[in-house]
Amino acid sequence: MSSSDPTVQPVPASVVEQVDAADVTLSNPKRAVISLGSSLGNRLETLQGAVDALEDTPGVRVKAVSPVYETEPWGVDPGTQPNYFNAVVLIKTTLPPSSLLERGHAIEEAYRRVRDERWGPRTLDVDIVAYQDVVLDDPELTLPHPRAHERAFVLVPWQDVDPEAEVPGRGPVARLVEQVGRGGVAARPDLELRLPE
């Protein structure tokens, strides 16, 4: 986390390492980055429900959860939609990308996600941002996420939980944050998502 924003502290590496050391339930897991967003209903409760649902998924363990940010909607005129709460979750998983995508869609559907408007308001957005170092161009799933490198609402919380992270093919997250800036992305230190026990 940049020293220019003292209100939000990154997750200490020691915390992630402790969780990793305690995890003996997965065999040869892959590391994945999940972006969560909600602009309708009880946004914080929805994001926490998504974190818990990921942890409850066989073959998935949540390793770190970023601070919560309030962000302006992407791709629409300012003020035409409610703001989002956004966060990034680091997981380890034995699921292949396609199964992880299916699980993300199932979690969205559990929160009554509607897909009738591109970039429209939504109860919950669950996006796979990156999966290990996999580069995939498939009609169903592109990895890394094709717009992650230009979205501050993904990059800023991702940098919080993994300051050394890189977007495959795009470079270090820290450098990408510098390029896109932090406009429209406001820290919410009064809100917190819990790491599942």
* Model pLDDT, residue 36: 97
Q: Is 125 a catalytic residue?
A: yes
105 versus 7: which is more confidently predicted?
Answer: 105
Please identify which of the residues 5, 52, 113, 188 carries the catalytic annotation: 113
The DSSP code for 41 is S
The DSSP code for 9 is P
Q: Is 116 a catalytic residue?
A: no
Does 13-187 carry CATH code 3.40.50.1370?
no
pLDDT digits (tens, 9 = 90+) for 133-152: 999 988 889 999 999 999 99
| pLDDT of 45 over the 80 cut | yes
Please identify which of the residues 125, 151, 162, 182 carries the catalytic annotation: 125
* Model pLDDT, residue 13: 41
pLDDT digits (tens, 9 = 90+) for 8-44: 444 444 333 433 433 445 788 999 999 999 999 999 9
Confidence of residue 116 (pLDDT cuts 50, 70, 90): low
Full DSSP string of 130-156: EETT--EE-SS-EES-TTGGG-HHHHH
89 and 55 Cβ atoms separated by less than 8 Å: no
75 versus 180: which is more confidently predicted?
Answer: 180
Q: Is 147 a catalytic residue?
A: no
Q: Is 113 a catalytic residue?
A: yes
In terms of phi and psi (left: phi > 0; alpha: psi -120 to 50; beta: otherwise), the region of 171 is left
Confidence of residue 86 (pLDDT cuts 50, 70, 90): very high
Q: What is the mean pLDDT of the chain?
A: 85
Please identify which of the residues 61, 127, 151, 162 carries the catalytic annotation: 127
Return d(Cα 61, Cα 27) in angstroms, integer: 12
Please identify which of the residues 43, 122, 151, 182 carries the catalytic annotation: 122
Query: If 0-12 CB within 10 Å is exposed, 13-18 middle and 19+ buried, where does residue 157 land?
Result: buried
* Model pLDDT, residue 120: 65
* Model pLDDT, residue 114: 61
